[in-house]
A and B are shown apart, each in its own frame.
Chain A
Amino acid sequence: MVRINFSSSIDLIKYPLITSKTNLLFENNQYTFLVDPRLNKLSIKKAIEFLFDVKIIKINSCNLPKKKRRVGQFTGIKPRYKKVIVKLAKDNKIDLFSND
């Protein structure tokens, strides 16, 4: 297992996922992100709590299936992500659409 220090784990959180499905989860105060698969729940929790100044009470995560792409004769795999759904403590929120 690669040892990842705290500072680099911030960069390994890629982006929030906004779809109809995750849109429904917003009402539950749950936010979905795609992160680097090397991160585990603990490091994810640390990173997101630090980034957005929120308190996380629960994390669900799953590794997304491989996506194969062929360029000419070579077959490769697209970057893989881990999907995490974080549940925030009451009165915590993340403004994903901030204009600042």
Chain B
Amino acid sequence: MAPPLRTMMALCAPAALVAFVVRPNPGSSVIRAPASVPAAATSNTQKQRVGPLFAKPLAYEVTHKPAANSSIILNLDVPGETTQLCYDKAIRALSKEAGNSIPGFGNKGNKGNTKHPPEVIERHFGMEEVKGQSLKVISELVVNEAINSLDLQAIGSAELVQDISVVTQLFTPGVPMMLEVKMDVWPEVNIVKEYTGFELEVEEPPIDEPRVAAAWKGLQERNVVLEDTEEGYAAQLGDSVIANMMPFRENADGSKGEQLPNIASGDGVDIVLESGRYMPGLAEGMEGVKAGETREIRITFPDKLGPQGGDLEGTKAVFEVEAVEVMKRNVPEVNEEFAQSIREGLTLEELTTEVEKAVMEETGTSKRDTRNKAYEEALLETCSITIPETLIVEQAREKFAIMMTEFKDQGESDAKIQSMITKEAG
């Protein structure tokens, strides 16, 4: 038998079976539908179902009482009329969802506009599903409405006190029901002592000396004055050499091999002779070079290179360097004059403050932050407060998300981050 027919049989099985197996007397109550049961097939109920369902607000009664941990419990008294309306809405939603998928209903022409009798929807999705959907509608239209009307400062989402499956069992369209809903609200602050007019002593955050020194050095480097040299001047450490540079791979016998692309090559490269600044050995090898001189410098790349290093780690290479010009670098001394040169009218003292401030901002230990944190702690002592769980969880989630983003920035693989997230969630 074709599937539609079979399904139809299943749909109508109870009525058909009773009718055909038993042979009752005419007028037997087994077969005749009780007058009180609303039959979808009749025109009366059809009329009731069409039309604007929610033109007027849904009826309900609500009382609330506070509960532990800054939460409240709402007692909702939902009348039968409202449950019926919500059930109807749920049926409509499911009918739309079913569309043309129920055998015997709909055709290709009217996509999603198929009308189903409620009983067909019930049998297609199962009563549990319909009831669940109805409860969802109730939570959207009644519970949320109740929460809004009470003017509570709600946080997080409301939850049923009873188990959802129990409530689903209780739900019957047209029958009044009680709903118990629990939700967190903003906590009340009980101030136990005076919170204004107190003084605090806050320790000044320590200054990060090495970073300040680095900042000074950077500032000096940026303000270096290059000075031309006479011909025949031999470069010393600390000088600057403008050179044409070409790197080659070094063969086993020490001769020049293939050219290395991409790295540290080019004409007119400014090389500052300072050990540790480039590849180890380069600056030392350049020491004493004169303008116009060409040198071959043998170096070995360090074992660990940055992301641009590629496969060069530990490679031996020959750098052919032709010095075009040798310049003296005059690093300015830190004094009033230096401050003046950075900005007109700036004193050394002001400059020092500025540098320290910049470093503090960078490291995130500014005086203001330290002060604010001390205030926060002091204020916390002046009141008693119970923090609802929702707030804590929310805060924790936020922190966790930030942490994850940081991990990602540091180049952790996505898979690893994913595994951490699931572990936390579990």
Contact = CB atoms under 8 A, between A and B. Distances in A.
Interface in B74-90: none
B56 interface: no
A4 interface: no
Contacts of A23: 105, 115-117, 120
B20 interface: yes
Contacts of A53: 26-28, 31-32
B39 interface: yes
A99 interface: yes
A53 B107 CA distance: 34
Contacts of A79: 1
Interface string A1-39: 000000000110101111110010011010100100000
B152 interface: no
Contact of B15 (A27, A78, A97): A97
B185 to A, nearest CB: 43
A97 B115 contact: no
The A interface, classified by DSSP as helix, strand, loop or mixed, is: loop
A13 B41 CA distance: 20
Interface string A24-68: 001101010010000000000000001111000000000000010
A97 B12 contact: yes
Nearest to A21: B104
Contacts of A31: 41
Contacts of B26: 50, 53
B19 A20 contact: no
B14 interface: yes
A20 B16 contact: no
A91 B424 CA distance: 64
Contacts of A78: 1-2
B23 A10 contact: yes
B114 interface: yes
Interface in B204-221: none
B164 interface: no
Contacts of A50: 26
B19 A100 contact: no
Nearest to A17: B8
Contacts of A93: 33, 39, 41-42
A73 to B, nearest CB: 22
Interface of B: 1-2, 4-5, 8-9, 11-12, 14-16, 18-20, 23, 26-28, 30-33, 37, 39-43, 46, 104-107, 114-117, 119-120, 123
7 contacts: A15-B12, A23-B117, A51-B31, A95-B37, A96-B119, A98-B14, A98-B37
Given A15-B8, A17-B104, A97-B15, 11 more contacts: A15-B5, A16-B12, A23-B116, A26-B41, A31-B41, A51-B20, A94-B41, A97-B40, A97-B119, A100-B18, A100-B30
6 A-B pairs closest in CB distance: A95-B33, A97-B119, A19-B104, A26-B41, A20-B105, A98-B15
